């Protein structure tokens, strides 16, 4: 290793050290580390996948890739062995399942492989995790203590938040998560937007809102994957992702427990906002495991503007 490489390595901060320096509670940081390691296993399975459908549908009637099942099993089995998790809820399962002895502190929710329909096109996909300290059948504001997501793209990255800001880590060639960006903060206003759902199904108020963004010169950036689109908003320091209420689906498409709560937690830690158009996502109470909600998430200015259109 050259002298310059040695100097560079000395200044790297790995995930475990960062959480320790941030003063995160010991069991929580151990759990976050274990989940980050699981991302390595999931990424390896993505690389070796034959990209074939499993031949049946998940509990929401969607085609389920073999990878979805593998990612879900990796998370469940590893969490069962962690010693920190008493319950596990996954988008691939019908109900919350017990994985501990009952004395553990945490409940973990997961979208094990968000954007799995994009695997065969070789676009970025990800894993979304929420960590709770009380029942998931509550609002996130009361129950969540941490959230993270991993993006499997040209690089494997992870952004986590545990009440002390949002921080990005990159998996390096040695298999270590090293700090890339600390205390990420969004600008009040961005310049990109990612609108989900078919335009013909949008309610009038939402359509007017999107037309306002278009008129103001916002650039369309939509991959069809929640993780890469949210990651883009965060890394670009602003913008908006939205999947609205639709005329035929008034509750939208995205799941409150597995997708929206964790991303809202991270977005707020980065100085952004996340609402259902009127109410903060973290203030919406979960009453069913598969509960969906509309979402407007990103820079404060755009989310506030959406609320103005919808309330009018």
95: CATH: 3.30.540.10
Domains in the chain: how many in total?
Answer: 2
Q: Where is the domain boundary, 136, 151, 181?
A: 181
Give per-residue pLDDT as tens, 161-208. 999 999 999 999 999 999 999 999 999 999 999 999 999 999 999 999
Residue (of 91, 75, 141, 142) closest to 259 by Cα position: 91
pLDDT over 70 for what percent of the chain? 91
Average pLDDT over residues 136-149: 97
Claim to verify: residue 114 and residue 263 sit in the same structural domain:
no
Which pair of tokens denotes residue 217?
């010169």
In a domain? residue 304: yes
Claim to verify: residue 83 and residue 204 sit in the same structural domain:
no
pLDDT value, residue 55: 53
Q: How far apart are the first and last CA of the chain?
A: 62
User: Do residues 94 and 58 touch, judged by C-beta distance below 8 A?
Assistant: no
In a domain? residue 109: yes
Paired strand residues for 158: 150, 169
Q: Where is the domain boundary, 181, 201, 232?
A: 181
Claim to verify: residue 229 and residue 298 sit in the same structural domain:
yes
281: CATH: 3.40.190.80
Claim to verify: residue 86 and residue 206 sit in the same structural domain:
no
> In whole angstroms, what is the distance from residue 20 CA to residue 35 CA?
16
Q: DSSP 3-state helix, strand, coil percentages of the chain (rounded to 5)?
A: 40, 25, 35
Per the structure, the complete domain to which residue 169 belongs is given by 3-181
Burial of 78 (0-12, 13-18, 19+ CB in 10 A): middle
In a domain? residue 92: yes
pTM reported for the whole predicted model: 0.92
Give per-residue pLDDT as tens, 34-80. 999 999 999 998 887 645 555 556 666 555 558 888 999 999 999 99
Q: Where is the domain boundary, 159, 181, 203?
A: 181
> In whole angstroms, what is the distance from residue 290 CA to residue 254 CA?
9
Claim to verify: residue 135 and residue 226 sit in the same structural domain:
no
pLDDT value, residue 132: 98
Residue 154 has pLDDT above 70, yes or no: yes
Buried/exposed 27-55: b ≥16 CB within 10 Å, e otherwise? ebbbbbbbbbebbeebbebbeeeeeeeee
pLDDT value, residue 268: 98
Claim to verify: residue 176 and residue 129 sit in the same structural domain:
yes
Residue 2 has pLDDT above 70, yes or no: no
Give per-residue pLDDT as tens, 263-290. 999 999 999 999 999 999 999 999 999 9
> In whole angstroms, what is the distance from residue 214 CA to residue 219 CA?
8
Claim to verify: residue 63 and residue 164 sit in the same structural domain:
yes
Claim to verify: residue 89 and residue 209 sit in the same structural domain:
no
pLDDT value, residue 62: 58
| pLDDT confidence band for 6 (50 / 70 / 90) | very low
Mean pLDDT of the chain: 92
Claim to verify: residue 165 and residue 197 sit in the same structural domain:
no
């Amino acid at each position: 290793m050259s002298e310059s490489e040695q100097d560079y390595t000395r200044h790297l901060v790995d995930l475990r050290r960062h959480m320790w320096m941030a003063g995160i509670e010991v069991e929580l940081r151990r759990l976050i580390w274990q989940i980050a390691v699981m991302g390595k296993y999931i990424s390896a399975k993505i690389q070796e996948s034959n990209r074939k459908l499993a031949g049946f549908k998940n509990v929401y009637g969607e085609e389920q890739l073999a990878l979805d099942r593998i990612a879900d099993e990796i998370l469940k089995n590893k969490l069962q062995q962690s010693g920190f998790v008493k319950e596990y809820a996954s988008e691939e399962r019908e109900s919350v399942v017990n994985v501990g002895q009952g004395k553990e502190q945490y409940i973990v929710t997961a979208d094990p492989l968000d954007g799995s329909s994009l695997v065969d096109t070789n676009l970025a996909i990800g894993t979304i995790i929420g960590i709770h300290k009380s029942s998931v059948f509550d609002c996130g504001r009361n129950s969540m203590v941490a959230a993270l997501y991993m993006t499997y793209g040209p690089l494997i990255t992870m952004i986590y938040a545990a009440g002390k800001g949002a921080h990005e880590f990159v998996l390096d060639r040695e298999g270590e998560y090293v700090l890339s960006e600390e205390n990420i903060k969004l600008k009040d206003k961005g310049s990109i937007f990612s609108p989900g759902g078919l335009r013909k199904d949008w309610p009038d108020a939402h359509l007017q809102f999107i037309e306002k963004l278009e008129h103001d010169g916002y650039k369309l950036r939509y991959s069809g994957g929640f993780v890469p689109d949210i990651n883009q908003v965060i890394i670009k320091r602003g913008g908006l992702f939205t999947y609205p209420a639709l005329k035929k689906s008034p509750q939208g498409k995205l799941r409150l427990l597995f997708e929206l709560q964790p991303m809202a937690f991270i977005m707020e830690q980065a100085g952004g906002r996340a609402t259902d158009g009127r109410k903060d996502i973290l203030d919406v109470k979960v009453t069913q495991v598969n509960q969906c909600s509309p979402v407007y998430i990103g820079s404060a200015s755009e989310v506030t503007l959406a609320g103005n259109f919808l309330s009018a």
